[in-house]
């Protein structure tokens, strides 16, 4: 600003107002603008960071009673009641995905879920990757052995033996920390129910697990008994990706504080820890009746994903099969690569890749049904391609030559003469591939797909009646496979006369 400009500002304006009054008026206007701007900014921040009315996807474990398990087909437990109560209190909604502990963490890392609540201990190592809420449960570690085992009374009796602990848990960390001192080996497993069965079958001498989990299982007649006092362990916390979903984390903390203040938090703990035996069915028939709706839901998902995947696999297999017998070297190369890649790698690897790996590469979540269908159809499509190739090449070459000599072109000869004969020979192998696909669908439980075996795991995780539950699941699989086989054979006889 020049000196002339400054003099002009000091000169009274033409309306007769003095400069001090103008300056005061400008100051008032500026103050109002700043105030409105600040309010608007605050409102924008509230709008951007608020959780009210939003829906968040929350990942959890599948088998960690009493924190998360299924009762009468519904996912329940301390963690589930807690997150739902907080969501209601803070005005947001939650969609729960029961994935398994490790799968839930992978889903969080790949942004498939917004947060994880799964009896997750807060550790310094995890703090490098995740932001945690205030602790909502103070845990501890205990060791348990088979109920009829009177030889192991403490850690000193474990020398030369194998114990089990849950992968990534506080129990695993503690067991490994004292393994050298007492001379035992630690084997890590993914599920509490599996650990219990390992101890009962004698393949492991003892189990290290969080004390409420062991106490719940013992109350459910799991066949174990605790032989050590509780060792103070870590604190459980709700986790989000580091630097993300801070509003959700804040809402969880606010809701947790309110629940502790009004007594709702203690009511939830008492509901599951004071009398956990209330949910246990007493007879095999009672178990069957209670578990039947959930198992039928799992069977429906198993059949549906199998049928959809088989239809896609047939389309891919037919295309790749014809490409493998093509005279074009490029087409043959593409088909051969497809077959070699998907036949030469485990199906489970692709389930993890499609559901956890690719979303991190594209920055976009993939629906679990899409991941399941891609996994099964691409794997089976590679086998169908070889079935198609083998079926076509098994037709006597003279059939093609004879049709060509009668004036039919190559395409018509394949369509009218070769393929119908090849399809009759391929049908038994295709039916077999359909049955294999139905059984392979059970592997999708690793990514939390709610198929039949997954539902069975949910049931025995809550009641620890593993053998009986698996017998029921096995019978349902057998009936479904036999029915599907007879239906496929009927279609074969009907259309391949």
Residue of 126, 161, 125 whose CA lies nearest to 143: 161
d(CA 317, CA 383): 7
Q: How open is the CA angle 411-416-422, to the nearest 5 degrees?
A: 100
CA 419 to CA 325: how far, in whole Å?
A: 13
Residue-level pLDDT at 274? 67
pLDDT confidence of residue 497:
62
Per-residue tokens: 309: 């995947």
Give Cβ neighbours of residue 321 (< 8 Å, ≥ 6 apart). 335, 384, 385, 386, 387, 388, 389, 391, 392
The domain spans of the chain are 55-136+238-273, 138-235, 284-495
Rounded CA gap, 472 and 465, in Å? Answer: 11
CATH superfamily of 138-235: Periplasmic binding protein-like II (3.40.190.10)
Q: Cα 247 vs. chain centroid, distance in angstroms? A: 24
Write the pLDDT tens digit of every residue in 319-343: 999 899 888 999 999 999 999 999 9
Asked whether 306 and 441 are in contact (CB, 8 A), the reply is yes
> What residue ranges in 190-348 does DSSP mark as E strands?
206-210, 224-226, 231-236, 239-241
**Cα(94)–Cα(68) distance, rounded to whole angstroms?**
15
- Do residues 70 and 76 make contact, with C-beta atoms less than 8 angstroms apart? yes
Which residues are CB-contacts of 262 (< 8 A; sequence separation ≥ 6)? none
Computed on alpha carbons and rounded to an integer, the radius of gyration of the chain in Å comes to 32
**Cα–Cα distance, 197 to 222 (Å, whole number):** 9
For residues 58 and 195, give the distance between their C-alpha atoms in angstroms, rounded to a whole number: 26
The CA distance from 439 to 455, in Å, is 15
List the end-to-end C-alpha distance of the chain, in Å, as a whole number.
100
Q: What is the reported pLDDT for 400?
A: 66
The rounded distance, in Å, linking the Cα atoms of 388 and 315 is 11
The two beta strands, 69-71 and 162-166, are unpaired
Tell me the β-bridge partners of 231.
141
Q: How far is CA 198 from the centre of its chain?
A: 24
Which residue stretches of the chain have pLDDT < 50? 1-49, 276-280
Structure tokens that stand for 161 in this block: 């033996």
pLDDT of the residue at 31: 47
Same fold flag, 55-136+238-273 and 138-235 = yes
Q: Which residues contact residue 475 at a Cβ distance below 8 angstroms, ignoring those fewer than 6 apart?
A: none
Residue 84 class from Cβ within 10 Å (0-12 exposed, 13-18 middle, 19+ buried)? middle
Question: Does residue 146 contact residue 224 with C-beta atoms inside 8 Å?
Answer: yes
DSSP letter for each residue of 319-388: HHHHHHT-S-HHHHHHHHHHHHHHHSS-HHHHHHIIIIIHHHHHTS---HHHHHHHHHHHHHHHHHHHHH
Pairing assessment for the beta strands 185-189 and 162-166 based on DSSP bridges: parallel
3-state secondary structure of 37: helix
Strand, helix or coil for residue 47: helix
DSSP-derived 3-state class of residue 92: coil
The angle, 0 to 180 degrees and rounded to 10, between the axes of the packed helices 19-49 and 246-262 is: 80
Domain 284-495 classified CATH 1.20.990.10?
no
CATH 3.30.420.40 fits 55-136+238-273, yes or no: no
């Amino acid at each position: 600003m020049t000196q002339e400009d400054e003099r002009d500002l000091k000169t009274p304006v033409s309306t007769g107002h003095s400069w001090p009054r103008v300056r005061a008026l400008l100051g008032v206007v500026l103050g109002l603008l700043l105030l409105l701007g600040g309010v608007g900014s605050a409102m924008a921040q509230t709008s951007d960071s608020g959780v009210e009315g939003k829906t968040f996807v929350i990942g959890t474990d599948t088998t960690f009673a009493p924190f998360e398990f299924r009762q009468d087909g519904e996912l329940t437990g301390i963690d589930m009641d807690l997150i739902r109560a907080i969501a209601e209190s803070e005005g947001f909604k939650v969609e729960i995905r029961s994935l398994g502990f490790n799968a839930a963490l992978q889903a969080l890392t790949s942004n498939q879920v917004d947060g994880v609540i799964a009896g997750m201990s807060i550790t310094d190592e995890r703090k490098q990757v995740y932001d945690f809420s205030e602790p909502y449960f103070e845990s501890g570690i205990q060791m348990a052995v088979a109920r009829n085992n009177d030889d192991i009374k403490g850690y000193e009796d474990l020398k030369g033996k194998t114990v089990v602990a849950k992968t990534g848990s506080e129990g695993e960390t503690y067991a490994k920390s004292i393994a050298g001192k007492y001379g035992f080996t630690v084997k890590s497993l993914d599920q509490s129910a599996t650990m219990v069965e390992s101890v009962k079958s004698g393949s492991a001498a003892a189990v290290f697990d969080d004390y409420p989990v062991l106490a719940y299982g013992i109350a459910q007649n799991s066949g174990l008994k605790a032989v050590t006092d509780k060792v103070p362990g870590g604190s459980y916390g709700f986790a989000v990706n580091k630097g993300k979903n801070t509003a959700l984390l804040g809402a969880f903390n606010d809701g947790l504080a309110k629940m502790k203040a009004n007594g709702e938090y203690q009511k939830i703990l008492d509901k599951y820890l004071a009398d956990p035996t209330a949910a246990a069915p007493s007879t095999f028939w009672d178990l069957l009746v209670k578990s039947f709706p959930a198992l039928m839901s799992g069977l429906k998902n198993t059949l549906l994903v199998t049928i959809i995947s088989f239809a896609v696999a047939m389309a891919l297999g037919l295309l790749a099969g014809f490409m493998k017998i093509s005279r074009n070297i490029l087409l043959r190369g593409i088909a051969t690569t497809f077959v070699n890649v998907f036949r030469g790698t485990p199906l489970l690897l692709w389930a993890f890749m499609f559901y956890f790996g690719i979303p991190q590469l594209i920055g976009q979540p993939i629906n679990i049904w899409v991941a399941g269908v891609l996994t099964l159809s691409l794997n089976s499509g590679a086998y169908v391609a070889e079935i198609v190739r083998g079926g076509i090449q098994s037709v006597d070459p003279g059939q093609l030559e004879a049709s060509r000599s009668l004036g039919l072109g190559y395409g018509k000869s394949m369509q009218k003469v070769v393929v119908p004969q090849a399809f009759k020979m391929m049908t038994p192998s295709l039916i077999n591939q359909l049955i294999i696909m139905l059984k392979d669908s059970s592997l999708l439980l690793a990514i939390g797909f709610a198929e039949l075996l997954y539902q069975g795991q949910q049931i025995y995780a809550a009641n620890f009646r593993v053998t009986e539950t698996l017998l029921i699941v096995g019978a349902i699989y057998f009936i479904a496979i036999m029915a599907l086989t007879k239906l496929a054979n009927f279609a074969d006889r009907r259309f391949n006369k």
